[in-house]
Chain A
Amino acid sequence: MVVEVNPFDLTLGIVYWLLVMVAIVVVGLIVGLVASLAAYGSSGPRRMALTIQRGVRDLTFLSPRRIMAVATLTFKEAQRRKAFMIGLLFLALFMFGGWFLGGAGSDRAAKPYVIFVMTSMSFLLIVMSLLVSCWGIPADIKARSLHTVVTKPVRRSEIVIGRMLGYIGVLSLVLAVTSAFGYFWIWQKVPASAQNQLIARVPLYANEVQFLDRTGTLSNTGLNVGDIWDYRSFIEGGTNSRAIWKFNNLDVASLKRDGKLRLEQSFEAFRTYKGDINQQLRYTLSLYNPTTKLRVPVGTYQVQEHSADAQKTTVEIPAELIYRDSYDLDSPEKKVQVFDELFDNGSLTVEVGALESQQYIGVSHHDMFIRLPDRTFLATYVKASLGLWLLLVLIVIIGTTSSCFVKGPVATILTGSLIFVGFVFRGRIDTVLRDLAANSAPIGGGSFESLYRLATQMNAVSPLPENIGTDVIKTLDQGVFGMLRVVNALIPDLQYFNTSEYPANGFDVPWAGMLLPSLVITIGFLIPLIILGYFSLQLRELEHK
C-alpha cells in the first residue's frame, strides 16, 4: 500500500476556507447587484437587500419539526419507490462474487475479499447517492408536489436541509446494512489460513528519512536506479550507504508499556546482476542514539522480492535487547535497555543498510514504521465505512444543491463530474499550484505558452523571445493559473475519502490523516451549499413556463 496523501493542516484549511467564503460572498454580491439592476432597474439594489435580509432570516430561524417532516417524507419516498432494492443488488453480487475471488496466494488471500466488499459497496452507494439526491427536487418540481409544500409555512432552506437529511438517512441505512453484511461475508469467505491478515495495524511513521551515500554524505534522497516512479530511492549494498529514519516526539512510556518495540518494513530489491536468485537481498537494521553514539544492530533481514506487494517484515525488539557489536559470533554479547538507552529524549533513529555488494535496496519514507498495538479488523472496517459515509454525505450535499437550480440529468452530470475531478485530478491540480507557488513554472509553461510552442515547433525548455508577445502569453497564462486556483478551491479534495485501501491492506484508518479531513471538507462544503441551494430555490419561479 502506498501512502501518498497530501498532509492536512486543519488550521490552514479553516483559514483557506474562510478566505474562499469571503471571496465567494464578494463575487456573489457583485453578480447579484448587476443582475438585480438589469432586471429591476433602480429598485434592484433595494430588492436585493430585501432578498438577502429574507435569506438571513430563512437560514437562521429554522424549524427542526418541519425539517424532520421533509426528511421523513424523503425517506418514505425512497422506501416506497423501492430505492432499497439496491441492497438486494448488493446481496446478489455477493452470492456469486466469492466464485471468482479464491485461488490467490495465501499471503494475499484476505485482500481481494475486502477490496471486493469495499469497492462494490462504494460503487453501488455512490451511484445510488447520485441518483436519489440529483433527481428528488427536480422530480418534485416537475410533478408540482413541491407547490403544496412551499404554500405551507415552510422556508425553502428547510426543504433543502430536510431533503439532504432524508437522503442521508436512506443512504446511511443502506450502508449500515450492506457493510454489516459485507463484514460477516468477509469473515466467512476468507480462508482460515489468511484470517490473521484481517487486522488493523497502526503505523507510526517517521518524521523524516535521510540517506547516507557511500562517501558518508547526508542527503534527502538516495540513489536513482532509473525507475520513473520516484516513490522509493535506493541504497547501495556492501557500502556505508544507509537509510536513516528519525521518529520524534514519541510517547516512550506508552511504547514501553507494550514491553516491545515493533518495527515493520517493506522494501524493494533492485539487482544489477542476477546473483544467487534463491538468496534474497539482505539488509541490516540498527537502532542508533545520536547523543550517546550507541549503535545497536538488531539483525539481518531479507527483502521479500518475489512476493508482489506483501514484502513486509515485522521485527519485534524486546525491551531488553541482547546483541553483539559485530556479526562475529565469538564477539561478546551485550545487553541494552531499548527504551532507556536507545531512545533519545523521545526520539528514535533507525538505520538500514544493504549487504550485497552492487545490489540495491529501495526504500521510502513510509516503508518503515513503528507498529503500535494492532486494532481489530472491525475497527478499521467501521472507520472505512465511515469514510464512505462521509463521501456519500458530500455527494448528497452537492447533488441536492445542484438539483435546486438545474434538472435531474444535468445535476447528475455536474455532481458526478465534480466527484470524478475531486478524486482523479484534484491532487494533481494541487501539485501544479504548489509548484507555481514555489515559483517553479511547469515545463513548457501554461496553456497559452504551450500552444505557442506547439504552433512554432519550439521545444519545451527553450526560452521564449523577449518581446511583447511573450508578455501577453505570460499574462494570459497567469490568468489561466488564477482560474485554476479558483476552480481548485471549489472542487472537493476527495483523496481523503478513499479509505477502503486501509482495511484491505490490514491498516487502521487514521483519524487525523483521513477521517478528520473528510469530516472537515464535508462540513466546509455543507454550509455554503445549503446557502446556495436555498437561494437557488428561493429565487426560482417554481411555476415558470
Chain B
Amino acid sequence: MADNVIEIRNLSKIYRDFWGRPKVKALNSLSLEVKRGEIFGLLGPNGSGKTTTLKLLLGLLFPTEGTVSILGRPAHDVEKNERIGYLPEESYLYRFLNADETLDFYGRLFKMSATERKKRTDALIQQVGLQGARRRQLKEYSKGMTRRIGLAQALINDPELVLLDEPTSGLDPLGTRDMKDMIINLRNQGKTVVMSSHLLADVQDVCDRIAILYRGELKVIGSVQELLESREETQLLTSELSPDVIKEVEQVLGRNGASLKKVSHPTSTLEDLFLRTVAESEARPGRRFEPGERPSNEKS
C-alpha cells in the first residue's frame, strides 16, 4: 500500500452538457495502482479515457464517482503538486516567454530560491538540449523544442512523480528517442513516471507496466514483460548457423517432442536503423550508402 504512488478506485467521469444531461461517459469504474519507481503506461486509442484519467489525477476535472489518491493525498489537494511534474498533451506554455523565463516562472511557483532556480534552469536546459535556443520566445519553437521545454518545466521541481501526456506525440524519431531516454533516465533516478500514449512501440520500449483502456474501461493491466511473453514458445538467439547445423537442431528438437517453427535472421527496428543512419551521417558528412549497404550496428 505504502509503495503505491497512485491509487484509483472505481473512478468514473461523465461529461455533461449545459443542462446537466450526460453527454459522454469518458471513464467507467476505473481501478488501478501505480507503484513507486515504475514507468506506468496508459494505453488506448483516441477517446479511450487516458487523458481524462490524467486530468482527474491532477484535479483539472472532477470525478463523477470514485476516489483518487495521489502521493497519499486527494486529487484536489494543492500541496501534492509540490512533488508532481506534469507535461500536458500539447505544451500549453506561455508563448511570449523564452525558455529561461519559462523555467524561472514555473520555478517561482515552488519554494525555490533565485539561485536554485538559476541552477536548475541551467541543468534542465542542458538536459533537454535547448542551450542554443534558451533566449528565444517559445512561439518561435518547433514542436520538438516545445515538447522539450514542456518536459523541462515538468521537472523544474525535481518531482517524485511525473505525469506525461503523450510525451512523444509529434516528435521526429530522434526527438522520440531522446524523450524515451529521458523517461528511462527519470526512472533510473528513482522517480515514478505515468505516461499516456497510443504509440505502442514507445510504450513497449520504456514502460514497466501498462494498462489498456478502451472506451473508458480498463481492459488489461500488468507488466509489459508478462503481458507480451508467450510461454508456449521458446526463442533461441545464436551466432549465424549453417543449414547443416539447423538441420541437426531440428532433429534434436524432434527427438524431444518439439518442432522448429521458424528460422530467420533477427531484424532491428526501423527506429534503430534511422538513428544509426543519422548518427553515421553526422559522423561522416557527405557519405552515401550504396544499395544494400547498411550503417554499422553500433547504437547511437
Residues of A within 8 A of B (CB): 54, 58, 65-66, 68-69, 72-73, 76-77, 80-81, 143-145, 147-155, 541-545
Instruction: Name the CB-closest residue of B to A61.
Output: B78
Instruction: Name the CB-closest residue of A to B88.
Output: A147
Q: Complex formed: what's the CA distance from A150 to B106 in Å? A: 11
Q: Are A148 and B88 in touch, CB under 8 angstroms?
A: yes
B40 within 8 A of A: no
Instruction: Name the CB-closest residue of B to A69.
Output: B108
Q: Are B76 and A77 in touch, CB under 8 angstroms?
A: no
B229 within 8 A of A: no
Other 17 A-B pairs with CB < 8 A, given A143-B92, A145-B92? A58-B78, A66-B108, A69-B108, A76-B97, A77-B94, A144-B90, A145-B93, A148-B88, A148-B92, A148-B106, A149-B109, A150-B59, A152-B81, A541-B62, A542-B61, A544-B61, A545-B15
List A contacts of B76 (CB < 8 A).
Answer: 54
Given contacts A69-B105, A76-B97, A154-B109, whether A545 and B24 have CB atoms under 8 Å apart is: yes
B192 within 8 A of A: no
Instruction: Name the CB-closest residue of A to B55.
Output: A543
B178 within 8 A of A: no
Q: Complex formed: what's the CA distance from A545 to B86 in Å? A: 20
Q: Are A152 and B106 in touch, CB under 8 angstroms?
A: yes
Instruction: Scan residues 83-113 of chain B and give those whose CB is less than 8 A from a CB of chain A.
Output: 84, 86, 88, 90, 92-94, 96-97, 101, 105-106, 108-111
Q: Are A543 and B96 in touch, CB under 8 angstroms?
A: no
B79 within 8 A of A: yes
12 residue pairs A–B, Cβ–Cβ below 8 Å: A66-B108, A68-B108, A69-B108, A72-B105, A77-B94, A152-B81, A152-B106, A152-B109, A153-B79, A153-B82, A544-B15, A545-B15
List B contacts of A145 (CB < 8 A).
Answer: 92-94
Q: Are A80 and B96 in touch, CB under 8 angstroms?
A: yes
List B contacts of A80 (CB < 8 A).
Answer: 96-97, 137
List B contacts of A543 (CB < 8 A).
Answer: 55, 60-61
Q: Are A153 and B81 in touch, CB under 8 angstroms?
A: yes
Q: Are B94 and A73 in touch, CB under 8 angstroms?
A: yes
Q: How many inter-chain contacts with C-beta < 8 Å in the A-B complex?
A: 79
Q: Are A73 and B61 in touch, CB under 8 angstroms?
A: no
Sort A-B residue pairs by CB-CB distance and give the 6 closest, nearest first.
Answer: A69-B108, A80-B96, A144-B92, A152-B109, A153-B81, A151-B86
Q: Are B58 and A76 in touch, CB under 8 angstroms?
A: no
In this complex, which of A65, A73, A154 has the most chain B Cβ atoms within 10 angstroms of its Cβ?
Answer: A73
B153 within 8 A of A: yes
Q: Complex formed: what's the CA distance from A121 to B244 in Å? A: 95
A210 to chain B, nearest CB (A): 62
Residue of A76, A147, A153, A541 touching B78 (CB-CB under 8 A): A153
B179 to chain A, nearest CB (A): 18
B141 to chain A, nearest CB (A): 14
List A contacts of B108 (CB < 8 A).
Answer: 65-66, 68-69, 72
List A contacts of B110 (CB < 8 A).
Answer: 152-153
List B contacts of A76 (CB < 8 A).
Answer: 96-97, 101
A31 to chain B, nearest CB (A): 16
List B contacts of A541 (CB < 8 A).
Answer: 60-62
List B contacts of A73 (CB < 8 A).
Answer: 94, 97, 105
List A contacts of B92 (CB < 8 A).
Answer: 143-145, 147-148
Q: Are A155 and B78 in touch, CB under 8 angstroms?
A: yes
Q: Are B60 and A147 in touch, CB under 8 angstroms?
A: yes
Q: Complex formed: what's the CA distance from A544 to B84 in Å? A: 22
List B contacts of A150 (CB < 8 A).
Answer: 59-60
In this complex, which of A65, A73, A143, A148 has the most chain B Cβ atoms within 10 angstroms of its Cβ?
Answer: A148
Q: Complex formed: what's the CA distance from A72 to B108 in Å? A: 11
